[in-house]
Chain A
Amino acid sequence: MTDHPTALPRAARERAAPPCPALVPAALALAALLLAACAERGGGGGAGAAGGTLIVVTAGDADVLFHPSGAATTSADVAGLIFSRLAELPFDANTVDEAGFRPGVARSWERDDSTTIVFHLDPRARWHDGAPVRAADVAFSFEVYRDPAVGSRFGPNLAAIDSVTVRDSLTAVYHFARRYPEQLYDATYHTKVLPRHLLDSIPRSRLAASAFARSPVGSGPFRFVRWDAGASIEVAADTGHFLGRPGLDRVIWRIVPDPAAAASALVAGEADAVEIVPQAEQRARLRAALDIRLVRYPSNGVAYIAFNLRGRGGRGAHPLFGDRDVRRALAMAIDRATVVRSLFGADSGAAGDVPIGPTAQAQWIWSDSVRQLPFDTAGARRLLESRGWRDANGDGVRERNGVPLRFELLLPTTSRARNDAAIIVQAQLRAIGADMRLLPLEFALFEQRSARKDFDAAFQSRTLDASPASVLQLFGSEGVRQSNYGSYESAAFDSLARRAIATPTRAAALPLWRAALETLNDDAPAVFVFSPPFYAAVHRRLEGVRIRPDEWLATVAEWHVPPGARIQRDR
Chain B
Amino acid sequence: MLRYLARRLALALATTAAVVTITFALVRAAPGEPFTAGAEEHFVPPETVARLRERFGLDRPVGAQFVRYVANLARGDLGESFARHRPVADVLRDALPNTALLGLAAFLLSFALGLLVGVVQAARAGTWTDAALGGAALAFYSVPAFWLGLVLLLVFGEWLHWLPVAGMADPALRGSLSAAGRALDVARHLVLPALTLALVNGAVVARLHRAAMIEALGADFVRAARARGLGEGRVLLRHALRSALAPAVTLAGLSVPALLTGSVLVESVFGWPGMGRVAYEAIFARDYNVITAVAVVSGVLVALGNLAADLGVAAADPRVRR
Within 8 A of A (CB), among B39-60: 39-46, 48, 51-52, 55
Residues in chain A near residue B31, CB distance under 8 A:
444-445, 448
Residues in chain A near residue B146, CB distance under 8 A:
258
Interface string of A211-234 (1 = CB under 8 A from B): 001100000000000101111101
Q: Are B84 and A230 in contact (CB under 8 A)?
A: no
Total A-B Cβ pairs within 8 A: 235
Q: Which of B39, B162, B175 contacts A18 (CB 8 A)?
A: B162
Interface string of A453-489 (1 = CB under 8 A from B): 0000000111100000000010000000111000000
- A390 → chain B, closest Cβ, in Å? 38
A38-B179, A60-B281, A447-B32 known; A252 and B165 CB under 8 Å?
no
Q: Which residue of A lies closest to B265 (CB)?
A: A258
Residues in chain B near residue A256, CB distance under 8 A:
166-167, 271
A25-B108, A64-B85, A264-B165 known; A43 and B175 CB under 8 Å?
yes
Q: Which of B32, B52, B98, B109 contacts A442 (CB 8 A)?
A: B32
Q: Are B168 and A231 in contact (CB under 8 A)?
A: yes
Q: Which of A20, A264, A460 contacts B184 (CB 8 A)?
A: A20
Q: Which residue of A lies closest to B177 (CB)?
A: A37
Q: Are A261 and B172 in contact (CB under 8 A)?
A: no
Residues in chain B near residue A232, CB distance under 8 A:
167, 171
Q: Are B101 and A36 in contact (CB under 8 A)?
A: yes
Q: Which residue of B lies closest to A414 (CB)?
A: B284
> Is A491 in contact with chain B by the CB < 8 A criterion?
no
A29-B105, A53-B172, A230-B95 known; A151 and B51 CB under 8 Å?
yes
> Is A402 in contact with chain B by the CB < 8 A criterion?
no
A37-B186, A63-B83, A444-B36 known; A24 and B172 CB under 8 Å?
no
Q: Are A481 and B46 in contact (CB under 8 A)?
A: yes
> Is A546 in contact with chain B by the CB < 8 A criterion?
no
Interchain CA distance A260-B147 in the complex, whole Å: 11
Q: Are A228 and B171 in contact (CB under 8 A)?
A: yes
> Is B278 in contact with chain A by the CB < 8 A criterion?
yes
Q: Are B271 and A33 in contact (CB under 8 A)?
A: no
- B124 → chain A, closest Cβ, in Å? 23
Interchain CA distance A444-B291 in the complex, whole Å: 15
Q: In the complex, identify which listed stretch (A65-73, A353-361, A373-381) lies at the interface while the others stay far away.
A: A65-73
Within 8 A of B (CB), among A162-214: 205, 208-209, 213-214
> Is B157 in contact with chain A by the CB < 8 A criterion?
yes
A43-B175, A151-B52, A252-B171 known; A447 and B39 CB under 8 Å?
yes
Q: Are A234 and B171 in contact (CB under 8 A)?
A: yes
- B29 → chain A, closest Cβ, in Å? 13
Interchain CA distance A37-B112 in the complex, whole Å: 25
> Is B138 in contact with chain A by the CB < 8 A criterion?
no
Interface string of A50-77 (1 = CB under 8 A from B): 0001010100110110100101110000
Q: Are B37 and A482 in contact (CB under 8 A)?
A: no
Q: Are B169 and A231 in contact (CB under 8 A)?
A: yes
> Is A49 in contact with chain B by the CB < 8 A criterion?
no
Q: In the complex, identify which listed stretch (A265-273, A430-438, A495-503, A517-525) lies at the interface while the others stay far away.
A: A265-273
Chain B interface residue bracket vs A:
35 or more
Interface string of A521-558 (1 = CB under 8 A from B): 00000000000000000000000000000000000000
Residues in chain B near residue A32, CB distance under 8 A:
100-101, 104
Residues in chain A near residue B274, CB distance under 8 A:
230
Q: Are B108 and A228 in contact (CB under 8 A)?
A: no
A33-B101, A63-B84, A569-B173 known; A451 and B36 CB under 8 Å?
yes
Q: Which residue of B lies closest to A207 (CB)?
A: B85
Q: Are B162 and A19 in contact (CB under 8 A)?
A: yes
> Is A44 in contact with chain B by the CB < 8 A criterion?
yes
Residues in chain A near residue B41, CB distance under 8 A:
73, 463
A153-B42, A156-B45, A229-B95 known; A448 and B32 CB under 8 Å?
yes
A72-B38, A230-B273, A270-B164 known; A24 and B109 CB under 8 Å?
yes
Residues in chain B near residue A60, CB distance under 8 A:
281
Residues in chain A near residue B170, CB distance under 8 A:
270
- B308 → chain A, closest Cβ, in Å? 16
Q: Are B184 and A17 in contact (CB under 8 A)?
A: yes
Residues in chain A near residue B55, CB distance under 8 A:
151, 205
> Is A257 in contact with chain B by the CB < 8 A criterion?
yes
A18-B188, A229-B91, A261-B270 known; A254 and B166 CB under 8 Å?
yes
> Is A237 in contact with chain B by the CB < 8 A criterion?
no
Q: Are B182 and A268 in contact (CB under 8 A)?
A: no
Q: Are A64 and B84 in contact (CB under 8 A)?
A: yes
Interchain CA distance A462-B44 in the complex, whole Å: 13
> Is B210 in contact with chain A by the CB < 8 A criterion?
no
A231-B169, A261-B269 known; A37 and B83 CB under 8 Å?
no
Q: Are B271 and A71 in contact (CB under 8 A)?
A: no
Interchain CA distance A255-B280 in the complex, whole Å: 14
Q: Are A569 and B167 in contact (CB under 8 A)?
A: no
Q: Are A229 and B188 in contact (CB under 8 A)?
A: no
Q: Are B175 and A257 in contact (CB under 8 A)?
A: no
> Is A155 in contact with chain B by the CB < 8 A criterion?
yes
> Is A113 in contact with chain B by the CB < 8 A criterion?
no
> Is A99 in contact with chain B by the CB < 8 A criterion?
no
> Is B163 in contact with chain A by the CB < 8 A criterion?
yes
- B85 → chain A, closest Cβ, in Å? 4
Interchain CA distance A559-B130 in the complex, whole Å: 58
Interchain CA distance A529-B226 in the complex, whole Å: 76
Q: Which residue of A lies closest to B160 (CB)?
A: A18
Q: Which of B44, B97, B194, B269 contacts A23 (CB 8 A)?
A: B194
Interface string of B135-171 (1 = CB under 8 A from A): 0000000000010001001100110011111111111
> Is B33 in contact with chain A by the CB < 8 A criterion?
yes
Q: Which of B43, B80, B164 contacts A483 (CB 8 A)?
A: B43
Within 8 A of A (CB), among B11-51: 31-33, 36-46, 48, 51
A18-B162, A209-B86 known; A46 and B175 CB under 8 Å?
yes
Residues in chain A near residue B215, CB distance under 8 A:
none
Residues in chain A near residue B269, CB distance under 8 A:
258, 260-261
A73-B41, A148-B51 known; A42 and B175 CB under 8 Å?
yes
Within 8 A of A (CB), among B184-237: 184-188, 190-191, 194-195
Q: Which of B172, B191, B268 contacts A569 (CB 8 A)?
A: B172
10 closest A-B pairs by beta carbon, nearest first, are A444-B32, A230-B273, A44-B175, A37-B182, A232-B171, A569-B172, A37-B183, A256-B271, A208-B85, A229-B94
Chosen A-B contacts, 12 in total, with CB atoms closer than 8 Å, are A13-B161, A18-B161, A32-B101, A39-B97, A44-B174, A44-B175, A64-B84, A156-B45, A230-B278, A232-B171, A264-B158, A448-B33
Q: Known pairs A37-B182, A153-B42, A460-B40. 16 more at Cβ < 8 A?
A: A36-B97, A36-B186, A40-B169, A44-B176, A156-B48, A209-B85, A231-B167, A231-B169, A256-B166, A257-B268, A260-B150, A261-B153, A268-B157, A448-B32, A482-B45, A482-B46
List residues of A whose CB falls within 8 A of some B CB: 13, 17-21, 23-26, 28-30, 32-34, 36-40, 42-46, 53, 55, 57, 60-61, 63-64, 66, 69, 71-73, 148, 151, 153, 155-156, 205, 208-209, 213-214, 226, 228-232, 234, 252, 254-258, 260-262, 264-265, 267-271, 442-445, 447-448, 451, 460-463, 473, 481-483, 569
